[in-house]
């Protein structure tokens, strides 16, 4: 019986090695052929030489001496994740089948979790809560903007492992997760129940003197349509100018940001310039006549990233909005998600993008026209009032004065 099991495990090991090589090779081959329409000739990659033999040796050692259970599927997934992470690109990620399903649900606007927007501090590599979603379990449990997440269920995380932490927080609806946070130098653990989160991308209202206000929390699926519906509702109520708030918006789908820009910019205006690995440029221009023709102020801060910076750069360079706030995050690269045949997926950085005036964004950010920060005492409040919001007040002042 032991001999049969040993033979089976050796066969499984070979399958594992073949699977890893096949996934990587088939993906790269497919991508190359689809883009170049020809036959690929490549020298043997010496870094992969001996991989199968090495894994076989590891597997034999585990089988002989390891005291725990051996989960071949988990080991294959970890091997692929390690291979991809070796690129050293924080935005390129391998997703398991379950992670890919979660990603698709989140992109479509609903998932099971605790309901927080997070980002990594560039200086300290800590994971910070940008804000809890309104009415979410995180908000109900008392998590606040500015809280630093140090552990989840006892496991430490930082900016380098933010994707792993996100997956750890997700789980079956009704279950609980323990989140350790650091707040004002003090550490505490908060237990939060996971629930199905229905994401609303847009919040809108009318401020004084017929000034409309639209906040965009992210640029996930359906965002542009929701934005247009909210704008038309405000327009019917007689607004004469508009504040668009993309503070703490970490990005999302580029197409959603472009669709909103087409509501504001002139037909034929350049919205985005991207370059690929070969530095070939692609220019995206507006293909529609705008429906929004009024003074606009765009609120930005250091957590406005990615698709938010596409919007900020396009509106600034096309003179369609005055930017108020602080310099944006500086994520000027685009990722594409490639579904693989087994249900898993690969998110890969494929392009760098620039503003219409060809200004670089990556690791630099976009400077506002009017630089103003929030007071320290209100930065991390969830219930900041309009009067305390110095950035919003500056936007109102600009629109009232007509100096935009």
**Is 331 labeled as catalytic in the residue annotation?**
yes
Which residue among 218, 317, 344, 389 is the active-site one? 317
- Contact call for residues 347 and 337 (beta carbons, < 8 A): yes
The residue annotated as part of the active site, out of 241, 304, 306, 344, is: 306
Q: What is the DSSP letter of 360?
A: B
Separation between Cα atoms, residue 25 and residue 178, nearest integer Å: 40
Residue 110, H or E segment: strand 110-113
Helix (H) or strand (E) holding 231: helix 223-236
Cα–chain center distance at 187: 27
H helix runs in 253-384, sequence order = 254-261, 307-317
Does residue 217 have an active-site annotation? no
Helix H or strand E encompassing 281: strand 281-285
Instruction: Quote the DSSP letter at residue 288.
Output: S
Q: Residue 50: beta bridge partners?
A: none
CB atoms within 10 A of CB 40: 10
Q: What are phi and psi of 360, to 5 degrees?
A: -75, 140
Q: How far is CA 328 from CA 91, 308, 355, in A?
A: 18, 9, 13
As a whole number of Å, the end-to-end CA separation of the chain is 80
From the candidates 131, 331, 347, 394, give the one annotated as an active-site residue.
331
Do 123 and 171 meet the contact criterion of CB atoms below 8 Å apart?
no
Catalytic annotation present for 306: yes
What is the sign of the dihedral through the CA atoms of 32, 33, 36 and 40?
positive
Q: List residues bridging with 345 in a β-sheet.
A: 95, 339
Of all helices (H) and strands (E), which one includes residue 364?
none
Instruction: Please count the residues of the chain.
Output: 404
Interatomic CA distance for residues 151 and 242, integer angstroms: 40
Backbone torsions φ then ψ of 348, nearest 5 degrees: -130, 135
Catalytic positions, please?
306, 317, 331
């Amino acid at each position: 019986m032991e001999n049969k099991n040993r033979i089976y495990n050796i066969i499984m090991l070979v399958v594992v090695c073949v699977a890893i090589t096949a996934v990587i090779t088939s993906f790269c081959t497919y991508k190359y052929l689809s883009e170049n329409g020809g036959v690929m000739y490549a020298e043997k990659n010496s870094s992969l030489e001996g991989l199968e033999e090495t894994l076989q040796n590891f597997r034999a050692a585990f089988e002989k001496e390891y005291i725990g259970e051996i989960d071949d599927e988990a080991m294959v997934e970890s091997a692929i994740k390690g291979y991809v992470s070796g690129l050293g690109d924080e935005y390129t990620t391998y997703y398991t089948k379950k992670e890919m399903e979660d990603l698709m649900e989140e992109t479509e606007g609903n998932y099971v979790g605790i309901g927080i927007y997070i980002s990594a501090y560039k200086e300290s590599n800590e994971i910070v809560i940008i804000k809890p979603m309104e009415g979410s379990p995180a908000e109900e449990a008392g998590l606040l903007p500015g809280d630093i997440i140090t552990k989840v269920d006892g496991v430490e995380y930082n900016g380098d492992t933010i994707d792993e932490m996100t997956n750890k927080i997700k789980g079956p609806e009704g279950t609980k997760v323990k989140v350790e946070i650091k707040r004002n130098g003090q550490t505490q653990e908060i237990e939060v129940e996971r629930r199905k989160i229905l994401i609303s991308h847009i919040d809108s209202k009318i401020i004084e003197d017929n000034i409309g206000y639209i906040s965009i929390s992210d640029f996930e699926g359906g965002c542009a349509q929701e934005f247009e519906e909210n704008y038309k509702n405000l327009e019917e109520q007689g607004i004469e100018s508009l504040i668009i708030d993309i503070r703490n918006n970490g990005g999302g789908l580029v197409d959603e940001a472009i669709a909103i820009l087409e509501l504001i910019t002139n037909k034929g205006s350049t919205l985005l310039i991207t370059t690929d690995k070969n530095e070939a440029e692609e220019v995206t221009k507006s293909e529609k006549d705008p429906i929004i023709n009024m003074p606009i102020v765009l609120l930005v801060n250091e957590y406005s990233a990615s698709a938010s910076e596409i919007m900020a750069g396009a509106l600034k360079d096309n003179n369609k909005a005055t930017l108020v706030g602080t310099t944006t995050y500086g994520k000027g690269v685009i990722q594409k998600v490639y579904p693989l045949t087994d249900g898993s997926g690969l998110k890969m950085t494929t392009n760098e993008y620039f503003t219409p005036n060809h200004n670089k964004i990556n690791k630099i950010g976009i400077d506002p026209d009017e630089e103003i920060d929030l007071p320290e005492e209100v930065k991390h409040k969830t219930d900041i009032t309009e009067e305390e919001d110095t950035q919003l007040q500056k936007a109102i002042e600009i629109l009232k004065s007509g100096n935009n």
